[in-house]
Structure 1
């Protein structure tokens, strides 16, 4: 079973995303900030990561940059799920290694279509 790591400082968003990805057949793990996510990835690299941008401790962009430098860190498909909708932010995320970008609020159809676009489902 493929694993998806949901990284968001909002417990509500994590729970909503968990339900979506579990309904798609993924095992789901959660992290409340980029540092927790990086610690998780160093132990168990997931196949997919849903990533928020604005979080305490380590934000999503810093996490993504650090992840891509880790051994095996180029493997996970990373989908940013954020309220950051400025084109410069989207470009910055894609240049840092994000595979896709989704605006909040999102739903199951949006996540499923993005996962399909990047070959996860």
Structure 2
């Protein structure tokens, strides 16, 4: 799942990850992301740091039954260590920096594609 309020980012990520044989669902805001996670937790969740309530999404998913198994990426536009640590404290496993491209996503997610 990608949770980002930018339709362009969602479209790019979905195209690239879909090409790697991932089934990708999109959430355009925090409420939609949580509603979708309550229905079915994704294996991987990419959360945009700039989306309102992004940290709450990460924290809430971690509290859900099975939420500890979700691989969560906190997606930022900067590599400021303070921002990254805030995401880590909320429960993020790893980070992505926007804008990303095919190379970045393939490097980050190829290991999961092979395991699937």
* TM-score (structure 1 length as normaliser): 0.86
Residue of structure 2 aligned with 1:120, choices 102, 112, 116: 112
Q: Counterpart of 2:28? A: 32
Count of paired positions: 113
| TM-score of the superposed pair, with normalisation by structure 2 | 0.89
Alignment partner, residue 6 of structure 1: 2
RMSD: 1.3
| C-alpha distance in structure 1 between counterparts of 2:6 and 2:19, whole Å | 20
Q: How does 1:16-27 map to 2 (within 5 A)?
A: 16-27=12-23
Listed as ranges, the gaps of 5+ residues in structure 1 are none
2:101 aligns with one of 87, 107, 113: 107
- Distance (whole Å) between structure 1 residues aligned to residue 112 and residue 90 of structure 2: 20
- CA-CA distance at 1:84 after TM superposition: 4.0
Moved over 6 A (4+): none
Structure 2 residue runs of 5 or longer lacking an equivalent are none
